[in-house]
A and B are shown apart, each in its own frame.
Chain A
Amino acid sequence: MEEMTLEEFTIPDFSQLQQLLTANCHPAEVHRALRSDRLDIHGLAALLSPAADGLLPQLAAHSARITAKRFGRTIQIYAPLYLSNFCINRCAYCGFSAGNRIDRRVLTMAEAEQEAMILHGRGFKHILLVAGEAPARLGVEYLAELATRLRDRFAAISIEVQPLAEDEYARLFSAGITSVAVYQETYDRGIYSQVHHSGKKCDFNYRLATPARAAAAGMREVGIGALLGLADWRLEGLALGLHLAWLRKHYWRTALTVSFPRLRPAEGGFQPLVKVDERMLSQLIFSLRIFDPDVGLLLSTREEARFRDGMVGLGPTRYSAGSCTAPGGYANPELTGEQFSVGDHRSMQEVCADICRRGYDPVRKDWDATFQIQDSGNGMSVAL
């Protein structure tokens, strides 16, 4: 690609972000942000600040208007497919953490295909392949092979696996992977090193530069996110805004998404370091929507059905449904070894029916594998 990767994204220290937040924590700044067409980072700080708490209904209405205009009355639907729960990292909050005694397995190619076909049979056209970080057991070869097997049956295949190198992302893109999600977990360096005890994931900077590598490799979409419950959510929101804005400037061809995973009960019994309740989560979602009208916003089954139903149309644009977070769990629902326990237990049909009831269209297909087929030898290669 022509984009240069010489410049790297850097994140200000959280104490600086706190100053930015404090400087804009005033109702007048919130009103100003709600009136302006394009928010800068100061406007985002105002919306994330405690001063906006009393104006949450106004934030919601503004966020809903922007979302309807850009995305219409639609919600995209996808399902995660967990491939492996082996992991070389020790992370305090994660059920897959290397120190936890759980049933470990990596799906064989046939098992993975079987899981995918179960999701296909349930009507999913967009799947997200998920795995812990254990490259010796599940590496680029595995993902490329699986993508090649599945690409003709799904409209879009995303991955949420260990950070990879740019050429590895390029290889996976030509194998049929459409998008990459890599969450920083927390943009606060201090807390990052506090919760990541050992393993490759301890390298904050390498992880921070991963979305840019995926974009540089030509991925159509790159997802970022922060795990909520580790550091101050308002400052994570500012960091996400800065990261988004930087990625937009440097990789204008790449569509961007943000996820808002809140810590869920998981093996290991980790307790959130800070409280993030539903009201705070919604303020974070509305603020980022207003800051970036075009970004896709994901709300997964970590959240309860009541909350997800209520948020339809207010900002999020993509919902997972019917999720199981244990590898092989679709074929064998009794399997343990899940990453976390989900909060929304409805089936995909139930989620879609509730979205319809709210006057929104659940969209299963919004991409086409054809975009990425380089030259499959079927005469469809293009000579210009």
Chain B
Amino acid sequence: MLTIAGRTFRSRLFGGTGKFSSPQVMKEALEASGCEMVTVALRRVDLANPEDDIMSVLDRRKFLFLPNTSGARDAHEAVRLARLARAAGGGDWLKLEVTPDPRTLLPDPVETLKATEILVKEGFIVLPYMNADPVLALRLQDAGAAAVMPLGSPIGTNQGILTAFQIAIIIEQARVPVVVDAGLGAPSHAAQAMEMGADAVLVNTAIAVAGDPVRMARAFAMAVEAGREAFEAGLGARRAEAAASSPQTGLDFLR
């Protein structure tokens, strides 16, 4: 089972709460996905309001809320937002997003590292959204990040894992769980991440904007399970040349 910061998760699929056509569709899709951790944008919800349209439809016993700092453009803003969220009852878990470019929403590595260092010291369980930079992953891990969340491709693009080479290095080197986040546009992308050995994936746009978000959520759940199963079963290595399924290598000389 997946463990992050001492908490175990049966599902390796994490969900998002943005872009859905209604809170009801969001609730049904997230329940169908089987995910146990969902991220919510602090800019979008009102934590202090029990009747908030997103928070009120999701059962807090079923889902661990992972508030995110989407919209923050530097470490100052992210840290301030995190502190106020915790003060408003948002808990210690935090998906750190520092995205100064509102167009691509790509994360700022320098500010993300700064904010991670501060928030970890203050007792937050920090899961930073990051570009797929292996050295940055190590730096964030050393700074105390509970997991790292490298992007497959820019958020909302549905492009899949364009950063496979770097993500493979991150997975190989990491001591903390690796959650592939952003850009996963189809269940096959999620399966690919899991086959590569990612510990989990986070999917939002591909489910929220699908023709039928509930069925798409189920499809992602199955893909994540299949990918993980394949990884644990041990995938055969890819090779450039054909390899016989029953090798005829002559070893008769052995005594």
Assembled-state Cα–Cα distance A72/B44 (Å): 14
A366 in the interface, Cβ–Cβ < 8 Å?
yes
Please report the C-alpha to C-alpha distance between residue A348 and residue B240 in the assembled complex, in whole angstroms: 62
Cα separation A74 to B54 with both chains bound (whole Å)? 13
**Any B CB within 8 A of the CB of A26:** no
A70 — which chain B residues lie within 8 A by C-beta? 156
The answer to whether A73 touches B20, judged by C-beta atoms less than 8 angstroms apart, is yes
How many residues in A have their beta carbons less than 8 Å from beta carbons of B? Answer: 31
Residues from chain B with a CB closer than 8 A to the CB of A71 are: 19
A380 contacts across to B, CB distance below 8 A: 80, 83-84
Once A and B bind, how many residue pairs between them come within 8 Å at the CB atom? Answer: 83
State whether A253 touches B73 (Cβ < 8 A).
yes
Interface stretch, picked from A158-166, A229-237, A368-376, is A368-376
Q: Kindly state whether residue B96 has any CB partner on chain A within 8 Å.
A: no
- A371–B77 touching, CB < 8 Å: yes
- Residues in B with CB closer than 8 Å to A254 are 102
A68 to B158, CA, bound (A): 12
Cβ-defined partner of A360 (8 Å) among B18, B21, B158:
B21
Compute how far the CA of A149 lies from the CA of B211 in the bound complex, rounded to whole angstroms.
Answer: 43
Contact residues, A337-384 vs B (CB, 8 A): 356, 359-361, 363, 365-368, 370-371, 373, 380-382, 384
A255: interface (CB < 8 Å):
yes
Question: CB distance A73 to B81 under 8 Å?
Answer: no
What distance in Å separates the Cβ of A50 from its nearest Cβ neighbour in chain B? 30
A356 close to B114 (CB less than 8 A): no
Task: Answer whether residue A142 sits at the interface, using C-beta atoms and an 8 A cutoff.
Answer: no
Q: Which of B94-109 contact A (CB under 8 A)?
A: 100-103
Please measure, in the bound complex, the distance between the C-alpha atom of A73 and the C-alpha atom of B211, giving whole angstroms. 11
B75 contacts the other chain (CB 8 A): yes
A303-346 CB mask vs B (1 if < 8 Å, else 0) is: 00000000000000000000000000000000000000000000
Q: Which residues of A contact B (CB under 8 A)?
A: 68-74, 155, 221, 248, 252-255, 294, 356, 359-361, 363, 365-368, 370-371, 373, 380-382, 384
Closest 10 CB pairs of A and B: A72-B19, A73-B21, A255-B102, A294-B103, A382-B76, A368-B43, A359-B21, A382-B79, A370-B84, A68-B209
Question: Can you spell out 20 A-B residue pairs with CB atoms less than 8 angstroms apart?
Answer: A69-B156, A72-B19, A72-B20, A74-B18, A74-B20, A155-B43, A248-B103, A252-B100, A252-B101, A294-B102, A360-B21, A361-B20, A361-B21, A361-B22, A365-B46, A368-B71, A371-B43, A371-B71, A373-B80, A380-B84
